[in-house]
């Protein structure tokens, strides 16, 4: 009998994952071992053999894009056997679809609106105001973050106890959460968290609905299981309880969303939740060369409490991972640009090149450079730097200073941060502007002489008009970057973000710092603003091959021929926040990010670190990331464009020197590279000679490798 198309080329454990359709299955394997590929084939198999109709399979992916790809691949594999798969998507997409059918059970109508973050914040602000809480001290964004956290944990307002409630406005968190939910219901809306939480409540309380879905979903599968949060986990457990045909795939080393409530423990306790689960380990990596795997393996080996995993590959050994030390950020961008041009000449398509960054503000330097050299690029999973809300706000302030008649800019900032100049006041300014043919800033100054505005609005507007005039005066005396800094402070914009204390707000502040840093490279405010309009104008260009720039978080599950990993410096990666928090938890998550980053590369990985970054107009020297120090010397080539640059960081890491990472080449098993798991030290490696690479700074690594490795199912 001819083998069905979806089995062709699969290895033995992958086949097992595909063919073990009944009962719980956990596929636990490292990056690039074909987990997603096997899950896709499994889906094809279920449809091809008619074990289930498309509507009887629940398949969860981490991104919409992954869902789309899976749908296309299954379509190609089994062709017409499949007519759409209604329940293939992200948790949120699936949650929304279910909730529309049962909305009335939680007091909503089926045509409920899904609020975006802005709407959500506006609503929360109203409630905070009505509750007489000082929004400056207890920002709406903090409350939004907290509510989101509760929803991710599966907690309804009734489940929020006094201790939790204490986390906002002296114990009023729970009360506001309840009001928020009531308000949402009243306007027939829900937020993202509700898509899952409402459905969880329904499944928990409505037996008939639970049974309906337990019957319907003959098969459940979940990709990236290590990044499910509590509410998603509870959902799956309820839905799978009856038939127990649930297949989850994941990699504990790639759990990178704990800051959004993901719990890697979910994968660790799978066998407890589903006794008798078949645990399948995939060990052959089909994505990356031995050197790339060796580098990634050497870094992640520094984490404790990992599940044991072995990886090997048959691919050619390929190039070593290159570690490139450069002088500063602009040089980093320049070098990457040159490298990409060289790769292009060698035949690499631009679509096959990615630049991965730890923090989204890092994209700016590359964007600026790529505009100059005409390198096409796209930013995935986020806005281009100059399109972000906070950057646009800051630019609007600068545009007003530069060009008083810029009405759009004036409209944008007139009430940001909030200064009591609402739509009514703005309408009156508009009216006067139209009547007198003057720009809005002029009309705003003139309206102060009338009694058109309320006293409070007049006062606020007076302050703003005065501020703008003052900034304009100063423009001739100060550097424009300094002017921007003062302007952001004096307008209250910086304070507004500082008061938020959320992760997002911290990111926005970093972006603003990055903006002023960027300004320093231009001679005048006018020249800078012109540059920005050119960058913005790139939008809507015809589709051509493009380099992808994105955060490591957004790159999960993807792969590229060539990957540049930028900004591997202490304080940037690992982030300062992770360092400041102390302890190992945050640092280990950063290290998992490093592992995800390196393992995106198929053939070529280049890691960069700069010796200097400009922060607040000051040159700060930076130390290469500890993760650079953890790269096993056998798998890396280091070069630096500076003289003496390496000695600085070699001095920093040399006390940890243990060049013999737990990476051994060709240890008998398979022709490629292998990292043995669950072993305790160098002595357990038999074939690799103990080679001390003295001349290479990158040969050093830290810690006792593999020390606490646990092995699942042993
Ligand atoms: P990640 O952990 O990064 O999500 P993964 O385990 O999901 O990785 P896949 O993305 O499924 O890995 O596969 C990695 C690469 O290997 C893909 O290019 C895929 O097409 C290829 N691949 C998977 N299985 C095989 C196989 N049996 N033979 C050849 N290539 C394979
Ligand atoms: Mg995958």
Instruction: Tell me the per-residue pLDDT of 48-103, one tens digit each, with 9 for 90 and over.
Output: 999 999 999 999 998 877 888 898 899 888 876 556 788 999 898 899 899 999 99
Neighbours of ion ligand 2 (CB under 5 A): 35-36, 557
Residue to substitute in 12, 31, 36, 561 for testing ligand 1 pocket (most ligand atoms within 8 angstroms of CB): 36
CA distance 547 to 533: 21
Distance CA 160, CA 163 (A): 8
Residue 313 CB–ligand 1 contact under 6 Å = no
pLDDT of residue 617: 57
Stretch 447-474: mean pLDDT, rounded? Answer: 92
Q: Which residues of 537-574 are buried (b: 16+ CB within 10 A; e: fewer)?
A: eeeeeeeeebbbbbbbbbbbbbbbebbbbbbbbbbbbb
- The CB of 557 under 6 Å from ligand 1? The reply is yes
Residue 41 near ligand 1, beta carbon < 6 Å: no
Number of Cβ within a 10 Å radius of residue 583: 8
Q: Is 591 a catalytic residue?
A: no
For residue 197, give the nearest of 261, 154, 146 by alpha carbon: 154
**Ligand whose nearest atom lies closest to the CA of 15:** 1
CA–centroid distance, residue 643 to ligand 1 (Å): 41
What is the 14 CA–ligand 1 centroid distance (Å)?
10
pLDDT exceeds cutoff 80 at 613: yes
pLDDT tens-digit map of 207-231: 999 999 999 999 999 999 999 999 9
- Ligand 1 atom at minimum distance from 285 CA: 16
Residues in contact with 315: Cβ distance below 8 Å, sequence separation at least 6, in sequence order: 286, 288, 289, 290, 672
What are φ and ψ of residue 653, in 5° steps?
Answer: -110, -10
State yes or no: pLDDT of 714 exceeds 60. no
Hey, which of 10, 32, 593, 595 would you mutate to test ligand 1's pocket, going by the most ligand atoms within 8 Å of its Cβ?
32
Residue 451 annotated among the catalytic residues of the structure: no
| pLDDT score recorded for residue 121 | 83
Nearest CA among 485, 489, 471 for reference residue 519: 485
Identify the residue whose C-alpha is closest to ligand 1 atom 27.
10
Q: Where are the beta strands (DSSP E) in 484-600?
A: 547-551, 560-565
- Judge whether residue 374 has pLDDT over 90: no
Identify which ligand lies nearest to the alpha carbon of 592. Answer: 1
pLDDT at 694: 24
SS3 386: helix
CA distance 194 to 283: 38
pLDDT band at 643 (very low <50, low <70, confident <90, very high): low
If you average pLDDT over every residue of the chain, what do you get?
84
CA of 241 to the centre of ligand 2 (A): 25
The answer to whether 634 and 691 have CB atoms below 8 angstroms apart is yes
Instruction: Quote the pLDDT of residue 382.
Output: 63
Q: If you ran DSSP here, which 8-state letter would residue 229 be given? A: B
Smallest CA separation from ligand 1 atom 14, residue: 32
Section 362-390 average pLDDT: 84
Which of 8, 223, 287, 289 should be mutated for ligand 1, with most atoms under 8 A from CB?
287
457 alpha-carbon distance from chain centroid: 40
Tell me the CA–centroid distance for residue 31 and ligand 2, in Å.
7
Q: Please tell me the distance between residue 337's alpha carbon and the centre of ligand 2 in angstroms.
A: 29
Pick out the residues of the known binding site for ATP.
Answer: 29-36
pLDDT at 340 over 90: yes
Phi, then psi, of 365 in degrees rounded to 5: -60, -40
Give the atom of ligand 1 at the shortest distance from the alpha carbon of 224.
4
pLDDT digits 0-9 by tens, 644-701:
444 444 444 443 333 333 333 333 233 223 333 333 332 222 222 222 222 222 222 2
pTM, two decimals, is: 0.74
* pLDDT tens-digit map of 123-177: 898 899 999 999 889 999 899 999 999 999 999 999 999 999 999 999 999 999 9
Ligand 1 atom with the shortest distance to the CA of 39: 11
Task: Give dist(CA 697, CA 628) in Å, integer.
Answer: 9
Distance CA 213, CA 240 (A): 9
Name, in order, each residue with C-beta under 8 angstroms of 220's C-beta and a sequence gap of 6 or more: 57, 58, 59, 60, 236, 239, 240, 245, 246, 247
11 lines ligand 1 (CB under 6 A): yes
| Pick from 625, 382, 417: nearest CA to 511 | 382
pLDDT tens figures, 502-540: 767 877 888 898 888 888 878 888 888 877 776 665 444
pLDDT digits (tens, 9 = 90+) for 287-322: 999 999 999 999 999 999 888 677 899 999 899 999
pLDDT of residue 616: 53
Return the pLDDT at 638.
94
Give, for 615, the enclosing helix (H) or strand (E).
strand 601-615
Percent share of the chain, pLDDT over 90: 57
Spot the catalytic one: 14, 35, 339, 604: 35
Long-range contacts of 537-542 (CB under 8 A, 24+ apart): 538/371, 538/384, 541/376
Our answer to whether residue 679 is catalytic in this structure is no
Known catalytic membership, residue 600: yes
Alpha-helix residue ranges (DSSP H) falling in 414-479: 423-436, 440-447, 455-474
Quote the ligand 2 centre to 224 CA distance (angstroms): 7
The more confidently predicted of residues 615 and 333 is 333
Predicted confidence at residue 701, as pLDDT, reads: 25
pLDDT range class, residue 392, cuts 50, 70, 90: confident
- Is 388 annotated as catalytic? no
With 0-12 CB in 10 A as exposed, 13-18 as middle and 19+ as buried, what is 578? buried
Region 471-476: mean pLDDT is 90
Q: What is the pLDDT of residues 542-596, one digit of tens each?
A: 467 899 999 999 899 999 999 999 999 999 999 988 999 888 889 999 999 999 9
pLDDT (0 to 100) of residue 101: 94
Confidence of residue 194 (pLDDT cuts 50, 70, 90): very high
Pocket test for ligand 1, best of 286, 554, 596, 672 (most atoms within 8 A of CB): 286
Over range 448-473, report the average pLDDT. Answer: 92
Closest residue to atom 24 of ligand 1, CA basis: 34
Selecting among 172, 556, 600, 603, the annotated active-site residue is 600
Instruction: Report the nearest-CA residue for atom 13 of ligand 1.
Output: 34
| ipTM value for the complex | 0.99
Which atom of ligand 1 lies at the shortest distance from residue 14's CA? Answer: 27
Q: Residue 543 has what pLDDT?
A: 62
pLDDT: is 641 or 127 the higher one? Answer: 127
User: Closest residue (by CA) to atom 20 of ligand 1?
Assistant: 37
Query: Is 352 part of the annotated catalytic residue set?
Result: no
Among 374, 334, 383, CA closest to 564: 334
CB 555 within 8 A of CB 597: yes
């Amino acid at each position: 009998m001819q083998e069905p198309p979806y089995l062709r080329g699969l290895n033995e454990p992958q086949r097992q994952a595909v063919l073990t359709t009944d009962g719980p299955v956990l596929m636990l394997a490292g990056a690039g071992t074909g987990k997603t590929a096997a899950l896709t084939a499994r889906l094809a198999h279920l449809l091809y053999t008619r074990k289930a109709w498309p509507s009887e399979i629940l398949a969860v992916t981490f991104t919409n894009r992954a869902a789309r790809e899976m749908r296309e691949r299954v379509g190609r594999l089994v062709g017409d056997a499949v007519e759409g798969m209604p329940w293939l998507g992200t948790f949120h997409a699936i949650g929304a679809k279910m909730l529309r059918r049962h909305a009335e059970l939680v007091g909503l109508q089926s045509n409920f609106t899904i609020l975006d973050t802005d709407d959500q914040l506006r609503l929360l602000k109203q409630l905070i105001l009505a509750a007489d809480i000082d929004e400056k001290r207890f920002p709406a964004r903090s409350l939004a973050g907290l509510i989101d956290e509760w929803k991710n944990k599966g907690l309804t307002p009734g489940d929020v106890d006094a201790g939790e409630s204490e986390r906002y406005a002296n114990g009023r968190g729970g009360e506001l959460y309840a009001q928020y939910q009531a308000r949402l219901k009243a306007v027939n809306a829900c937020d993202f968290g509700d898509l899952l939480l409402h459905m969880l409540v329904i499944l928990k309380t409505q037996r008939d609905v639970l049974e309906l879905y337990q019957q319907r979903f003959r098969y459940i599968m979940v990709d990236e299981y290590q990044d499910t949060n509590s509410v998603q986990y509870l959902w799956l457990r309820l839905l799978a309880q009856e038939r127990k045909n649930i297949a989850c795939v994941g990699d504990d080393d790639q759990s990178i969303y704990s800051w959004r409530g993901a719990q890697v423990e979910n994968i660790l306790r799978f066998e407890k939740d589903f006794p008798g689960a078949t645990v399948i380990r995939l060990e052959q990596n089909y994505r990356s060369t031995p050197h790339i795997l060796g580098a990634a393996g050497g870094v992640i080996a520094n984490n404790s409490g990992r599940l044991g995993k072995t990886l090997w590959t048959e691919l050619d050994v390929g190039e070593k991972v290159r570690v490139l030390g450069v002088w500063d950020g602009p040089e980093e961008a320049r070098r990457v640009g040159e490298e990409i041009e060289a790769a292009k000449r060698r035949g690499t398509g631009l679509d096959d090149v990615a630049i991965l960054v730890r923090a989204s503000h890092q994209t700016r330097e590359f964007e600026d450079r790529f505009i100059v050299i005409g390198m096409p690029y796209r930013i995935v999973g986020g806005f281009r730097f100059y399109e972000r809300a906070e950057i646009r706000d800051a630019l609007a302030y600068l545009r007003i200073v530069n060009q008083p008649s810029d009405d759009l800019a004036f409209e944008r900032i007139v009430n940001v941060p909030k200064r009591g100049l609402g739509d009514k006041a703005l309408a009156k300014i508009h009216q006067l502007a139209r009547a007198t043919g003057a720009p809005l800033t002029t009309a705003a100054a003139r309206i102060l002489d009338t009694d058109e505005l309320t006293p409070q609005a007049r006062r606020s507007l007076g302050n703003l008009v005065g501020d703008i005039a003052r900034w304009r005066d100063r423009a001739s005396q100060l550097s424009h970057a300094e002017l921007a800094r003062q302007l952001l402070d004096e307008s209250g914009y910086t304070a507004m973000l500082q008061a938020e204390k959320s992760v997002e707000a911290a990111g926005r502040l970093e972006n603003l710092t990055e903006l002023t840093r960027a300004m320093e490279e231009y001679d005048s405010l006018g020249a800078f603003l012109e540059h920005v309009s050119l960058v913005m104008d790139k939008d809507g260009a015809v589709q051509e091959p493009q380099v992808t720039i994105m955060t490591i978080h957004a790159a999960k599950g993807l792969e590229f021929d060539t990957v540049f990993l930028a900004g591997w410096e202490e304080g940037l990666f690992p982030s300062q926040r992770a360092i400041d928090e102390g302890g190992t938890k945050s640092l280990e998550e950063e290290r998992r990010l490093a592992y995800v980053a390196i393992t995106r590369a198929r053939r070529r990985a280049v890691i960069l670190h700069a010796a200097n970054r400009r922060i607040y107009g000051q040159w700060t020297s930076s130390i290469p990331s500890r993760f650079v120090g953890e790269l096993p010397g056998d798998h890396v080539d280091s070069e630096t464009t500076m003289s003496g640059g390496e000695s600085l960081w070699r001095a920093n890491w040399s006390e940890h020197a243990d060049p013999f990472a737990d990476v051994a080449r060709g240890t008998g098993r398979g022709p490629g590279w292998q990292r043995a798991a669950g072993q305790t030290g160098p002595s357990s490696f038999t074939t690799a000679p103990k080679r001390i690479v003295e001349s290479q700074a990158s040969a050093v690594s830290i810690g006792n490798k593999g020390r606490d490795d646990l092995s699942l199912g042993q």
